[in-house]
Chains A and B, each alone.
Chain A
Amino acid sequence: MKPFLQKTILFLLLMAAGITVIQAWVSFRIRGKTIRGHDNLEQTSGIDADLLFMGSSRCWAHFDPRFFDSAYGIRSVNIGVDGHSELTMTILRLNDYLARNKAPRVAILSFDPFMSAGTLTGNTNFVHKNDFARYAFFPSRDTRPVVDYFQFDLYERYAPLYALFKYKLFFDAIFLDHVSNWVTYGYEMHDETWDTIARPVTDIMKTQLFKLSEVDSISISLKNLNSLCRQYGIALVCIQTPVYKACYDERLFRETREICSRSGIPFIDTNMEAIRNDIGFFYNSNHLNKRGVDSLNRLLAQDSLFSTYMARLTKTE
Chain B
Amino acid sequence: MLFNSIDFAIFLPIIFALYWFVTQKNLRAQNILLLVASYYFYACWDWRFLFLLMFSTLLDYYTGLKMHDAPNQASRRFWLWLSIGINLGFLGVFKYFNFFAESFSDAMSLLGLQVHPWTINVILPVGISFYTFHGLSYVIDIYKKRIPAERNFVEYAVFVSFFPLLVAGPIERATHLLPQIKQQRVFNYRQAIDGLRQILWGLFKKIVIADNCAMYANEIFSHSADYSGSTLALGALFFTFQIYGDFSGYSDIALGTARLFGIELLRNFAFPYFSRDIAEFWRRWHISLSTWFRDYLYIPLGGSKGSTWMKVRNTFIIFLVSGFWHGANWTFIVWGALNAIYILPSIVSRTNRNNLDIVARGKILPSIGELGSITVTFLLTVFAWIFFRAESLPAAIRYLRRIFSKTFFQVPYFPGIRTAIPVFVLLFFFFLIEWLQREHQYGIQTFGNRWNRVLRWGFYGLLGIIIYYYALVVDKQQFIYFQF
Residues of A within 8 A of B (CB): 1, 3-4, 7-8, 11, 14-15, 18-19, 22, 161-162, 165-166, 168, 170
Contacts and interface: CB of A to CB of B under 8 A. Distances in A.
B464 A1 contact: no
B296 interface: no
B409 interface: no
A22 B472 CA distance: 16
Contact of B189 (A4, A161, A170): A4
Interface string B465-484: 10011001100000000000
A1 B473 CA distance: 35
Contacts of A22: 465
A161 B465 CA distance: 10
Contacts of A165: 468-469, 472-473
Interface in B427-484: 457, 460-461, 464-465, 468-469, 472-473
B192 interface: yes
B20 interface: yes
B461 A18 contact: yes
28 contacts: A1-B20, A1-B187, A3-B189, A4-B189, A4-B192, A4-B193, A7-B193, A8-B196, A11-B457, A11-B461, A14-B457, A14-B461, A15-B461, A15-B465, A18-B461, A18-B465, A19-B465, A19-B468, A161-B468, A161-B469, A165-B468, A165-B469, A165-B472, A165-B473, A166-B472, A166-B473, A168-B473, A170-B469
A119 B468 CA distance: 34
A250 B404 CA distance: 60
Given A11-B457, A19-B465, A162-B472, 15 more contacts: A1-B189, A4-B187, A4-B189, A8-B196, A11-B460, A11-B461, A14-B457, A14-B461, A15-B461, A18-B465, A161-B468, A166-B472, A166-B473, A168-B473, A170-B469
Contacts of A168: 473
A76 to B, nearest CB: 39
B56 to A, nearest CB: 35
A25 to B, nearest CB: 13
A245 B457 CA distance: 64
Contacts of B457: 11, 14
Nearest to A1: B187
A168 B473 CA distance: 6
Contacts of B472: 162, 165-166
B258 to A, nearest CB: 16
Nearest to B461: A15
Contacts of B461: 11, 14-15, 18
Nearest to A18: B461
A4, A14, A15, A22: most-surrounded residue (chain B CB, <10 A): A4
Contacts of A15: 461, 464-465
A236 to B, nearest CB: 41
A170 B473 CA distance: 10
Contacts of B187: 1, 4
B165 to A, nearest CB: 23
B253 to A, nearest CB: 16
Contacts of A19: 465, 468
A299 B155 CA distance: 85
Contacts of B193: 4, 7
Minimum-distance CB pairs A-B, first 3: A165-B472, A166-B472, A1-B187
Interface in B208-239: none
B209 to A, nearest CB: 18
A1 B468 CA distance: 27
A11 B193 CA distance: 12
Nearest to B191: A4
A3, A14, A22, A162: most-surrounded residue (chain B CB, <10 A): A14
A70 B227 CA distance: 53
Nearest to B13: A8
Contacts of B469: 161, 165, 170
A197 B192 CA distance: 63
A1 B189 CA distance: 7
B415 to A, nearest CB: 16
A160 to B, nearest CB: 10
B30 to A, nearest CB: 14
Nearest to A7: B193
A113 to B, nearest CB: 36
A165 B470 CA distance: 8
Nearest to B6: A155
A240 to B, nearest CB: 39
A161 B457 CA distance: 20
A103 to B, nearest CB: 40
A11 B192 CA distance: 14
Nearest to A168: B473
Interface string B158-198: 00000000000000000000000000000101001100100
Contacts of B192: 4
Contacts of B473: 165-166, 168
Contacts of A14: 457, 461
Nearest to B21: A1
Contacts of A161: 468-469
A149 B472 CA distance: 22
A166 B473 CA distance: 5
Nearest to A165: B472
A1 B196 CA distance: 14
